[in-house]
A = this chain, B = another copy of it.
Amino acid sequence: MLGVDQAVSALLEQARPLVQAEAVPLTGALGRILAEDIVAAIDVPPADNSAMDGYAFQHDDWPGEAAALPLSLRIPAGIDPEPLPAGTAARIFTGAHIPPGADTVVMQEHCTASARDVVIGRCPDRGANIRPRGQDITAGDRVMRAGRRFDAQGLGLLASLGLAEVPAYRRLRVAVISNGSELIEPGEIAAAGQIYNSNRYMLAGLLGDWGFEVQDMGIAPDEPAAIGELLQSAASAADVIVSSGGVSVGEEDHIKNVVADLGAIDLWKVAIKPGKPFAFGRVSETPFIGLPGNPSSVLVTALIMARPYLFACQGRDDGRVIPVKKVAKFALAGSPRQTYLRAKSTPDGVECHPRQSSGVLMSAVWGDGLVVQAPGQDIEKGEEIDFLPYAFLA
């Protein structure tokens, strides 16, 4: 059996970006992935400017705490100031450029001003309250690396460089197929023997949160020729195919034979719990990921194994995540497989849902992440353990 880390590494070795770059307006870039490194073309801020509302002056001109400096200029933010005449001060506002001839700003709270002059009661150090040109960014700095997701601060940073358009990868298209002749869709009436398809909605949700375009192929019919047609249309519509169910060794599991006929498929034995059956292959040249059928197994294998692979196909650099340390509020003997326990964090530790059956989604809705239990690791109450918040896997 492959260890989980081995399996993820093996998947990543076969992954490469499957999408081209395109120019995207900054206003539409949230959640997209930067396709090229960004090098700053300008300094930010573009000039020395005032960190507060106050008075700009030349430090050498300070006449002492009781004498006044005449006011010669008024500089609101947004204008290009004239030089400051020697022996005078300028009224200045937050963000306004420092005039040539001034080297210090005093905050207005330390001054007594009239319309004509200002008494600087307490003289700050030379250079005080000035944000220097290039403090944030210097032209030529590499400010962002390809592979980064555009988040709010990234958008703000690129806006501050004046970029109205950015190079982003096209969104990865992922086809979703649900296998199982017992499945019907929500809203239909379930006959005896039938159950509602939940994996389709869960997978669409995960893929949507990951910023992909979801091609929903519906439920695969229980008939090889029809499955083959569905797979071929998924292969031409999408960059990657993800299916749930139908990949164990049972004689009712047709999909693996059909994928083998149309391309190639490997059944992987991964030491992961929940989630034993995992298939990886291709339909024509389109990568195919076959997840288990039980909802919790789908959730765990999607988060732990499919996610890093799909992120790499999208050109994202953040597929691998670092767990946080939490104190266990439970004890649990280890298993031979690496176990992902549906768990909930509290201010003083982490609790584990009492029912960890792979068919049960309630535990994943109840909690906010997964405890990672290494093969053979017995968890003692009070011990520090690894916890993966779902928020880190979004």
Residue in contact with A79 in the complex, picked from B186, B193, B251, CB distance below 8 Å? B193
Does any Cβ of B come within 8 Å of A4's Cβ? Answer: no
Determine if B156 and A76 form an interchain contact, defined as CB atoms under 8 angstroms apart. no
Closest to A163 in B: B186
Does any Cβ of B come within 8 Å of A165's Cβ? Answer: yes
Determine if B365 and A201 form an interchain contact, defined as CB atoms under 8 angstroms apart. no
Determine if B391 and A152 form an interchain contact, defined as CB atoms under 8 angstroms apart. no
Does any Cβ of B come within 8 Å of A194's Cβ? Answer: yes
Does any Cβ of B come within 8 Å of A131's Cβ? Answer: yes
Does any Cβ of B come within 8 Å of A30's Cβ? Answer: yes
Determine if A78 and B190 form an interchain contact, defined as CB atoms under 8 angstroms apart. no
Determine if B156 and A361 form an interchain contact, defined as CB atoms under 8 angstroms apart. yes
Q: How far is the CB of A285 from chain B (nearest CB, A)?
A: 28
Determine if B97 and A157 form an interchain contact, defined as CB atoms under 8 angstroms apart. no
Closest to A325 in B: B325
This chain: copies in complex? 2
Bound together, the chains give a CA A347 to CA B386 distance in angstroms of 11
Segment from A45-53, A115-123, A223-231, A373-381 that makes contact with B: A45-53
Closest to A187 in B: B164
Asked if A78 meets B201 with Cβ closer than 8 Å, knowing A45-B195, A295-B156, A391-B394, the reply is no
Residue in contact with A365 in the complex, picked from B79, B97, B143, CB distance below 8 Å? B143
Of the listed residues A156, A164, A324, A346, the one surrounded by the most CB atoms of chain B closer than 10 A to its CB is A156
Determine if B53 and A249 form an interchain contact, defined as CB atoms under 8 angstroms apart. yes
Residues of B within 8 A of A46 (CB): 190, 192, 195
Of the listed residues A78, A96, A197, A326, the one surrounded by the most CB atoms of chain B closer than 10 A to its CB is A78
Bound together, the chains give a CA A347 to CA B198 distance in angstroms of 35
Bound together, the chains give a CA A272 to CA B374 distance in angstroms of 41
Residues of B within 8 A of A360 (CB): 135-136
Q: How far is the CB of A263 from chain B (nearest CB, A)?
A: 25
Does any Cβ of B come within 8 Å of A205's Cβ? Answer: yes
Interface residues on A, range: 35 or more
Asked if A186 meets B26 with Cβ closer than 8 Å, knowing A95-B293, A201-B159, A389-B391, the reply is yes
Determine if A159 and B198 form an interchain contact, defined as CB atoms under 8 angstroms apart. yes
Determine if B45 and A135 form an interchain contact, defined as CB atoms under 8 angstroms apart. no
Residues of B within 8 A of A14 (CB): none
Q: How far is the CB of A219 from chain B (nearest CB, A)?
A: 11
Asked if A359 meets B136 with Cβ closer than 8 Å, knowing A154-B365, A205-B151, A249-B53, the reply is yes
Bound together, the chains give a CA A153 to CA B93 distance in angstroms of 51
Bound together, the chains give a CA A53 to CA B193 distance in angstroms of 16
Query: Which residues of A are interface residues toward B (Cβ below 8 A)?
Result: 26-27, 30-31, 42, 44-47, 51, 53, 76-81, 93-97, 108, 131, 135-137, 143-144, 150-165, 180-183, 185-188, 190-206, 208-209, 216, 222, 248-252, 293, 295, 299, 322, 324-326, 345-347, 355, 357, 359-362, 364-365, 389-392, 394
Q: Taking A78-B181, A159-B198 as given, write out 13 further A-B residue pairs in contact, using a Cβ cutoff of 8 Å, ordered by the A residue number.
A: A31-B208, A47-B192, A93-B252, A95-B182, A97-B192, A97-B193, A135-B359, A151-B209, A156-B198, A158-B201, A159-B196, A160-B198, A391-B391
- Cβ contacts A to B, 8 pairs, < 8 Å: A79-B193, A94-B293, A143-B365, A151-B394, A159-B197, A160-B361, A162-B190, A324-B324
